[in-house]
Amino acid sequence: MNAICPGTVDSPSLHERWHATGDFDAARKAFIARQPIGRIARPEEVADLAVYLAGATYTTGQIHIIDGGWTA
């Protein structure tokens, strides 16, 4: 068993959060500017890790943090 711990991922709920500020574009730009890697994750990037782990039968008991450098 492994765990995938994603950071911020582009999603409808994240967009709702930005819309709630009243200025979607400004909120998005400010949020992205605070990301160590300079962008947020795409859902496909988290899915790629899940697919890899599904076939990595010798990898077990690990926590895989995929957060663009936040915990580095």
The two structure tokens encoding residue 51 = 């697919």
The predicted model gives 11-15 an average pLDDT of 97
User: Residue 13 and residue 43: Cα distance in Å, rounded?
Assistant: 13
Residues paired with residue 3 on neighbouring β-strands, in sequence order? 63
Q: Where are the domains of the chain?
A: 3-66
Please write the tens of the pLDDT for every residue from 48-57. Answer: 999 999 999 9
Close Cβ partners of 16 (under 8 Å, ≥ 6 residues apart):
none
User: Residue 48 and residue 30: Cα distance in Å, rounded?
Assistant: 27
* pLDDT(72) > 90: no
Which pLDDT does position 8 carry in this prediction? Answer: 93
Q: pTM value?
A: 0.84
User: Residue 27 and residue 2: Cα distance in Å, rounded?
Assistant: 33
* pLDDT(21) > 90: yes
CA distance from start to end of the chain: 23
